[in-house]
Structure 1
Amino acid sequence: MSRKNKIVLSLIFSVLVILLSGCSGSEKLNHYYLLLAGESQTWNLSDYEVVLTPEDFKAGYGTLQMKNSNEYISDSFRFETHVVINGEDIIVHSSSFTGPEIDIAEETTGAMESGPYLDENGSPITLNEISNIYMMVEWWDVDKRESMNERIDLFTKSTKEQTFFN
């Protein structure tokens, strides 16, 4: 074998080793992007985003719209986004408004960003550890003169044997 062929063969082998060393298959990238929507008796929530990576947790940028109403005047409005992680219910995002005569018929959620949520071993959680994501909406009903509460379910972990979220 000529010296030139040995060099070419050595280069090809080196490139293959470098390429294949990155394909071990033992490491998973645990990056999840969820675009969620849901509704309750009174509310529609659309375009609510949840981003889960080993580096951070982000939630928000959704729109809450009151069904069948272009305007609804209230004195208070509040929402809380809950995530159930390994059986523990955690409020990850919330916002509230109070004051006289607030139109709450359509509200944007804003957004939040934090570091990752960690499991009992100190490792960042994955989507497999989340069983539910839901939003609680509370507002003052001026006609009924009472505080109203409704739940909007956004994500429930699949109990199917096969799913794309495993």
Structure 2
Amino acid sequence: MIGMVADIAYRMATLNPQLEADVIKQTEGIVLIDEIDLHLHPKWQREVVGRLLTTFPKVQFVASSHSPFIIQSLYGREDCLLWDLEKACPVNIESESIEDIAEDQQHVDMPQKSKRYLDMMAAAEAYYRRLHQVNDETDQELLQLRSRFDELSIPFSDDPAFAAQLKFERDSVLATKNK
């Protein structure tokens, strides 16, 4: 960030030496920044737009970002426009939480949960759904089903409580169905 700001200021001074000490406040221009949030801590992401606009008041910045922190920082700013490239229209900037922005604007399902959590939940749901559909399967079908349940639980075998719960449920249900 320091390098980018210094580069903008240097170019202003080089192109407009006649402005001397007022060069940063008086130089007009357009600066394009791809992924303005790249390599910035979320705390800085919340401040970068405002600081750039304050530092270079006559510069128009056109920036891309995937950061909900950047989007959130634009709320209440009359000097900023958020543009949706997929819909080719401006986006109304609301006072929303990071999770709401990620879910509503960026279409991330359950952003407050990790991908691993969502995968575990989907595997457990598939596991239990199929387990409770067991009826009059043959011994061979039950062996195949037991193998399928083991496959579903393998990616989560590093979570012993989760694996034990799945195994216990499987053994309990199959024991009652096998009688």
- Report the TM range for the smaller structure's normalisation: under 0.3
Larger-gyration structure (1/2): 2
User: TM-score under structure 2 normalisation?
Assistant: 0.25
Higher percent of residues as strand:
1
Higher percent of residues as helix:
2
- Flag the structure with more relative contact order, 1 or 2, with Cα contacts below 8 A and sequence separation at least 6: 1
